[in-house]
Amino acid sequence: MSVMIVLALPVNLVAISVLAYAIYYRRHRRADLMFAFVALNVGVFAISALMFNRQVELAMAFGLFAVLSIIRLRSDEISQREVGYYFVSLALGLVNGIGAGAPLASIPLTLLLLATMFVADHPRLAVGVERRTLVLDTVHGTDEELRADLRRRLNCRVLRATVSHVDYVRETMTVDVRYRHLAPLTAATPERAGGVTAPTVTR
């Protein structure tokens, strides 16, 4: 194994630890995705290190990135924010694996990626904004009716409401909503009230 790869490995491990745990997990508390980001990063780093040792052409490196980029974490519980972390985890593995021979370039790029995610996903940039996935006990025919119902139920200003599923048999609809509270909620808010089932809250 190349000496440069041995030196790049701890840099990559520290970088993905900062991204997955210090930044992502401490803000969003999803251990399953934290593990996925670490596994993806280490796997990409291993492949990149093998390519580095065999002096694979740069075109193949870009091909690897393109192939990995089309892989999507397919789940209703995965947001675009997690997809962003996914790509940065991938990029860190490539930067530190392929760039092992140029630490003066790979280390600043690693720091840039971490700093970008720290700032871009900082809670202060989305202060007061919440996201919930709600199951409503009614089906609305228009966006105006849906937003009015959400404002009434949540006492909020609706920023965005996206319908992900409609069940006309049970007359329910699943809605992903982002909103700001108009006033503090009461201390006791039942998990199921007014036809809203099992909300999932993220900030």
Provide the CATH number for the domain around residue 151.
3.30.70
Cβ atoms 198, 124 nearer than 8 A: no
Residue indicated by tokens 């009434």:
152
* Burial per residue of 33-56, b for 16 or more beta-carbon CB atoms within 10 angstroms, e otherwise: bbebbbebbbebbebbbebbeeeb
Please check whether residues 104 and 12 belong to one and the same domain: yes
Q: Kindly state the DSSP code that residue 193 receives in the 8-state scheme.
A: B
Domain extent, residue 161, equals: 128-202
pLDDT tens-place values along the chain, 203 residues long: 578 889 999 999 999 999 999 999 998 888 988 999 999 999 999 988 887 666 555 566 667 666 666 665 555 567 778 889 999 999 999 899 888 888 899 999 999 999 999 999 887 876 667 778 899 999 998 999 999 999 999 888 898 888 989 999 999 999 988 888 775 544 444 444 445 554 544 44
Instruction: Give this prediction's pTM.
Output: 0.66
Please check whether residues 33 and 133 belong to one and the same domain: no
**From its phi and psi, is residue 121 left (phi > 0), alpha (psi between -120 and 50) or beta?**
alpha
The total number of structural domains that make up the chain: 2
